[in-house]
Homo-oligomer: A and B are copies of this chain.
């Protein structure tokens, strides 16, 4: 008797695209841009070489798709409310949570930044989306700031985003050197001077002390 031939799985375009994006992210998380290659990705996904071009047109197309999903998931994660926490506190907790502040996720971001800086296609995509990111952080800051403080929260948001990016870089480069608690304390060290909510300070400023 003959063995039944393995049924070829055939997915909708959307599902297959998502699978390829996942495979690409796994490769990037593992080895940065050097692992973002046709062969590595299709091996990870378990499909043939032609599929990437078929679904994304080119590797640049896949790169943009990966960036878009990373961005959307990032925004969703920092926007999710948390039990008993203010919007800004929820945001900071999300940023230092394992879901976002992991070596894998941050290595993907570090790789994407390197590409944004040098790849016009990806840079255009980034330009179109970045202002929304800053605005969502600025909104959380305004909510936490005393009214009429005269502080431009767009500027504070930009500074805070820089800090968050830098925390990501450090975490990638020296995974053990920057624990979640230190990251949280650093965030509040930058934010607190601009926020005097009620009588008691917001978050843990004293994390910076010995």
Contacts and interface: CB of A to CB of B under 8 A. Distances in A.
Nearest to A190: B190
Interface of A: 31-35, 107, 110-111, 113-118, 123, 126-127, 130, 150-152, 155-156, 158-159, 161-170, 172-174, 177-178, 182, 185-186, 189-190, 192-194, 208-210
A128 B168 CA distance: 20
B155 A182 contact: yes
A25 to B, nearest CB: 14
A155 B208 contact: yes
A169 B162 contact: yes
Contacts of A174: 127, 130
A117 B106 CA distance: 10
A210 B152 contact: yes
